Amino acid sequence: MRRLGSEVGLTLHHHERLINSRPALQAAEFARSKGRFAPMHRALFQAYWDEGVDVSELGVLRQLAERAGVDPEAMAKSVEADDYGDYLDARRAEAEDLMISGIPAHVIADRYLVMGAQPYQVFERVMNQLAVLRRVSGETPLPPGSPAPPPGG
């Protein structure tokens, strides 16, 4: 995995033990509720992969929240209270129903599942396959955000 990361300019630190990502997921959901998901997401990934930090520790999450422009104390209280526990459990159940058991997992066009860290060529093959299927079926992809066409139209 380090080799793949280095090919795209990423430094990936190996952790000596498995880290419980639930507190980080809760912190990210709290940040989402405050409109700060993207900066928190970046801070979490940078801390975990680039810095090799344990993102399950509340003190670390407070620092990352501050870095991301999120109220660190309010975030910590939310994580401690398990405010997003039901939401996270529901997302996990949904993933299990779809037979997703690894991360990252990408569902593409509601048809293809690409699971785990995969090289660019895997995604390229999936996209090429989708293009072939669309040409064969005569389907024209809609631009993002377009309303669905009416039935039969």
CA-angle at 102, arms to 87 and 49, nearest 5°? 90
Flag whether 147 is in a domain: no
Give the residue with greater pLDDT, 32 vs 106: 32
Structurally, the chain folds into a number of domains equal to 2
Domain containing residue 127: 105-137
Spell out the long-range contacts of 84-91 with Cβ–Cβ below 8 A and sequence spacing 24 or more. Answer: 84/25, 84/26, 84/29, 84/30, 85/26, 87/29, 88/22, 88/25, 88/26, 88/29
Query: pTM higher than 0.75 for the full model?
Result: no
Please tell me whether residues 9 and 36 are part of one structural domain: yes
DSSP string, 6-53: HHTT---PPPSS----HHHHHHHHHHHHTT-HHHHHHHHHIIIIIS--
Of 29-38, 62-71, 116-125, the least confident: 116-125
Please tell me whether residues 77 and 109 are part of one structural domain: no
Please tell me whether residues 79 and 118 are part of one structural domain: no
Q: Considering the chain, what percentage of its residues have pLDDT values greater than 90? A: 47
Flag whether 89 is in a domain: yes
Per-residue pLDDT tens over the stretch 25-44? 999 999 999 999 999 999 99
Flag whether 110 is in a domain: yes
Flag whether 145 is in a domain: no
Q: Which three-class secondary structure state does DSSP give residue 56? A: coil
Q: Which three-class secondary structure state does DSSP give residue 80? A: helix
Please tell me whether residues 86 and 126 are part of one structural domain: no
Flag whether 27 is in a domain: yes
